[in-house]
Amino acid sequence: MSFDLQKILESKRALRRDLAARPIAEKLRMLDALRERQLAIRGRTGEPTSHATLHEEPLPYRAKAE
């Protein structure tokens, strides 16, 4: 496998230009398709399919006292 950073970066730029040039309706269809894939991966409930998934509680937000 070859690693040509310039070629990779130019490919990314070309893809971004292509996506930016597409009509908004097509972009919305793409988002809908991505959402459907995400739901298929997670299951229709939106929860991960495995119960062994690690869940961490966020740290409480503490504002500085003034």
Q: How many CB atoms lie within 10 A of CB 48?
A: 13
Domain ranges of the chain: 23-47
Q: Which residue has the higher pLDDT, 23 or 59?
A: 23
Q: Report how far apart the first and last C-alpha atoms of the chain are (Å, whole number).
A: 57
What mean pLDDT do residues 44-58 have?
62
pTM tops 0.75, yes or no: no
pLDDT interval class at 60 (50, 70, 90): confident
Two structure tokens written together for 3 = 């690693």
Q: Which residue has the higher pLDDT, 40 or 65?
A: 40
* Whole-angstrom distance, CA of residue 27 vs CA of residue 21: 10
Residue partners of 13: CB distance under 8 A and separation at least 6? none
What mean pLDDT do residues 40-61 have?
68
